[in-house]
Amino acid sequence: MATIHIRHLSHSFSTPNGHSLAVLKDVNLTVREGQFACLLGPSGCGKSTLLNMIVGLLSPSGGAIEFEGQDPKSVNIGYIFQEPRLLNWRTVADNIDFALRVKGVPREKRPAIVDRYLKMVGLEKFRGVYPLTLSGGMQSRVGIARAFAIHPDVLLMDEPFSNLDELTARQLRRDLLDLWEKERLTVLFITHNALEAVYLGDVVHVMTNRPAEIFTSREIPLPRPRDYRNPEIFRIQQEIVDQLLTRVGDLE
């Protein structure tokens, strides 16, 4: 596991007409080792851009991303996208095995790891099935199992449940937390759903519109496991939404 320190991060893109589009402005954020942190903000504010810089797909225009006590090149980062991005020509088990092979896990150790994580997400009976024959929720389970199987130091999650119906998303959030409780990875989960953020997170960091900065962070003092019917979840999420609306206007 690793602690992430983001210090005075900024980023701009060049537009086709040669102008500069500022996306992030002076972002400061710490995600502690073993913490489940949520990053909440309006659609299009730069949340995914921030994750892409953490994983190294983009270089920031200014500021720094540091992993406490570790060389960034040695940090094992898992990334779950909005779409599961499974290899449809490989079986469920082979998708997880492939990720382990890429990470250099010895061949003789991989079958036991695949079996363990398929069991943990309830898909052990679907190991030989191809992804396109699975429901969206089951595909998401495969993506979660694949990400946890490589036992990353940091797990980045980019709105992985946003394309699912609410009943399926609720069950997957519970399943994700059950798995996280066992593994205690450092997680940064981005969303524009305040209820999801409060249900999942130890802390919720809230971003402004573009160029985005973090204008408030809210510790979530609710015990785990959490119950969707707990009125405190609704109260806290409403407070956060009210703050966001006051600061940036409509969420969309």
Q: What is the pTM of this model?
A: 0.91
83 is a domain residue: no
Please name the residue ranges forming H helices in 184-230: 194-200
> Which of 243, 221, 234 lies closest to 40 in space, CA to CA?
243
Residues 209 and 115 placed together within one structural domain of the fold: no
pLDDT confidence band for 87 (50 / 70 / 90): very high
Tokens representing residue 82 in the block: 């909005």
Query: How many Å apart are CA 15 and CA 18, to the nearest integer?
Result: 5
| Nearest-angstrom CA–CA distance, 59 and 185 | 24
Residue 24 belongs to what domain range?
Answer: 4-76+152-248
> Which residues are 186's β-sheet partners?
154
**Whole-angstrom Cα distance, residue 152 to residue 121?**
17
Q: Which of 151, 172, 201 is the last residue of a domain?
A: 151
pLDDT above 60 for 252: no
pLDDT in tens, 181-196: 998 999 999 998 999 9
Do residues 185 and 100 both lie within one domain?
Answer: no
Whether residue 184 is found in the same domain as residue 210: yes
Per-residue pLDDT band for 30 (boundaries 50, 70, 90) equals very high
My answer on whether 177 and 242 are in the same domain is yes
pLDDT (tens digit per residue) in 135-181: 999 999 999 999 999 999 999 999 999 888 999 999 999 999 999 99
| Domain finish residue from 131, 151, 171 | 151
Same domain flag for 157 and 216: yes
> Are residues 146 and 156 both part of a single domain?
no
98 & 69 share domain: no
Q: What is the mean pLDDT of residues 213-220?
A: 93
